[in-house]
């Protein structure tokens, strides 16, 4: 007799991102980062695979003297780690740092975006993958906009869902940005969390706890 699939007790949410997903130094406490607010609200188990300065291309290769990482358009280390975490839902929040190497490395960034999204689409078939690049405002800055369009176009090509929800939640509001004008502060992370909770509730309702009180 057919049975209805049950929601995992605590679904595993994997977040692959940069300093906006680590929380960087713009938060008063790590628990205020948007991924943690989302997971607290939805009762998800958070696996935060983010690193300051990382992109699809930037800081994705091997270790360099001094502790940094080289760029790479084909390294799969972070992606393999994400797959091994066995996510029930995975969110990709990359692209911001890749804008810094444009236009000189445009082709390599494009290849890196294609590599990552094709990898995830192939290896995580049946798992909801949300591609949510963050920029401090939508339509501001030609290099930001170039990366943004590239990520959305490649997501569509490989059949992944992409969204500007994170960027639109902040959208240049200085009351939601830290002093650098790029990273969201506590208020910005709370706004992003609210926007992403709404998106997840629409996209993967079976993984969202009904009737949960909003904590973001």
Indicate the pLDDT class of residue 4, thresholds 50, 70 and 90. low
Tell me what pLDDT residue 173 has. 97
**If you ran DSSP here, which 8-state letter would residue 183 be given?**
S
CA distance 56 to 95: 6
Closest to 73 in 3D by CA, of 173, 184, 154: 154
Above 70 in pLDDT, residue 213? no
pLDDT tens, position by position, 50-98: 999 999 999 998 887 877 788 899 999 999 999 999 999 999 999 999 9
* Cβ neighbours, 10 Å, residue 92: 26
Indicate the pLDDT class of residue 215, thresholds 50, 70 and 90. very low
Domains, the chain = 12-207 (3.40.50.1110)
pLDDT tens, position by position, 193-209: 999 999 999 999 999 97
Identify the residue with better confidence: 121 or 63. 121
What does the pLDDT average to over 178-199? 97
pLDDT tens, position by position, 96-107: 999 999 999 999
Q: Which neighbouring-strand residues pair with 90?
A: 14, 129
User: What are 117's two structure tokens?
Assistant: 């999204």
Tell me what pLDDT residue 211 has. 41
Above 90 in pLDDT, residue 1? no
Above 80 in pLDDT, residue 154? yes
Q: If 0-12 CB within 10 Å is exposed, 13-18 middle and 19+ buried, where does residue 6 land?
A: exposed
Closest to 87 in 3D by CA, of 133, 130, 24, 41: 130
How many residues does this entry show for the chain?
216
Whole-number percent of the chain with pLDDT over 90: 83
């Amino acid at each position: 007799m057919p049975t209805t699939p049950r929601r995992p007790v605590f679904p595993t949410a994997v977040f692959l991102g940069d300093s906006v997903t680590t929380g960087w130094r713009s938060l008063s406490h790590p628990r205020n980062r948007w991924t943690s607010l989302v997971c607290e609200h939805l009762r998800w188990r958070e696996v935060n695979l983010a690193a300051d300065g990382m992109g699809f291309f930037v800081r994705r290769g091997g270790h360099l003297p001094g502790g940094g990482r080289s760029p790479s358009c084909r390294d799969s280390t972070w992606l393999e780690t994400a797959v091994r975490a066995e996510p029930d839902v995975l969110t990709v929040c990359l692209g911001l740092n890749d804008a810094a190497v444009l236009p000189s490395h445009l082709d390599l960034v494009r290849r890196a975006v294609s590599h990552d999204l094709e990898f995830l689409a192939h290896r995580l078939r049946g798992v909801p993958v949300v591609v949510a690049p963050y920029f401090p405002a939508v339509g501001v800055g030609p290099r930001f906009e170039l990366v943004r369009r590239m990520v959305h176009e490649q997501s569509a090509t490989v059949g992944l869902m992409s969204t500007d929800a994170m960027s639109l939640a902040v959208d240049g509001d200085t009351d939601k940005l830290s002093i650098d004008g790029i990273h969201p502060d506590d208020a910005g992370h709370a706004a992003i969390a609210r926007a992403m909770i709404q998106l997840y509730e629409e996209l993967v309702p079976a993984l969202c706890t009904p009737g949960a009180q909003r904590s973001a």
